[in-house]
Amino acid sequence: MWHVLLSRIQQGHRTAKYPKQAPTLPDRLRGLPVLDPSQCPEGCNECVEACPTDAVRFDEQGLGLDLGRCLFCQDCTNACPEGAIRFTTEHRLAAREREALIIRGEIQERVQALDQKMLSLFQRSLKLREVSAGGCNGCEADVNVLGTLVFDLGRFGIQVVASPRHADGLIITGPVTENMKLALKKTYDAVPEPKIVIAVGACAISGGPYAGHEEQHNGASSVVPVDLYIPGCPPAPYTILDGLLGMLDRLGPERLRAFTEAAKR
């Protein structure tokens, strides 16, 4: 017993101080892409052709990138001869609206808080049921790790529960395969009203690398309404945590300033 207590004292406090303190992230983290359309040579289409999921696009508005489709594979940056696209270590990527995941040259905050009625219900206590609708276990693993002592999701009043009847909403991962479509719909129907749906990862948002395949449904929004999109393949744990806290208005007014400064680095 004494050895156990001594070891615990030596380990110290392991829980991260996020969001009061910025997280320590690896330099190799592929976070928010930053676009510089001014660097695009006329007629160059290399980045568009290199993207495996059609996340990079040229249209009437110029160069754009859909975070909901992006696998953060860096094929576009490797193909671009001028460096018009680069990935930063900015982890804050979530959005309330699907259209807000399409980025261009501007830098902006995407995630917005719930309306006041929903905040009054869920801001201090939110129970979620996780549904893997055909995922590869990457997004599932990064959702599950939020329950460890490093992140301690429960300290924010957010918990993953075993039954949809005990939940306030769903966390959905995977592209929603044909075999999971009915199961997802039944799970959604079992959650009492009002409820929240969170799509985690490129597969749950758009189908990811499986988009267009006949045995899947291109993400959760084809079956149920989605209230929060958290992009990534898979999204980092801090990306998921930031999206949840942003939706619940738990991040403070300094968030936008910090977001802008980090994205410019």
What whole-number percentage of the chain has pLDDT above 90? 72
Fold of 33-90+99-103: Alpha-Beta Plaits (3.30.70)
How many other C-beta atoms lie within 10 A of the C-beta of residue 59? Answer: 7
**4: pLDDT strictly greater than 80:** no
pLDDT of the residue at 58: 86
* Cα–Cα separations (whole angstroms), residue 91 to 27, 31, 215, 228, 260: 12, 5, 32, 16, 12
Instruction: Find tokens 């055909």 and name the residue.
Output: 134
Q: Which class does domain 116-264 fall in?
A: alpha beta
Which has more pLDDT, 72 or 257?
72
Strands 62-66 and 102-103: antiparallel
Which has more pLDDT, 156 or 11?
156
User: What is the H or E stretch that residue 184 is in?
Assistant: helix 178-190
| Amino acid found at 123 | Q
* pLDDT digits 0-9 by tens, 9-33: 776 668 999 998 889 899 999 999 9
Q: Of the candidates 173, 162, 252, which has an alpha carbon nearest to the alpha carbon of residue 206?
A: 173
- Which residue ranges make up each domain of the chain? 33-90+99-103, 116-264
* pLDDT digits 0-9 by tens, 226-241: 999 999 999 999 999 9
pLDDT of the residue at 162: 94
Where does the pLDDT of residue 254 fall: very low under 50, low under 70, confident under 90, or very high at 90 and above? low
Which residues are CB-contacts of 88 (< 8 A; sequence separation ≥ 6)? Answer: 31, 32, 33, 34, 262, 263, 265
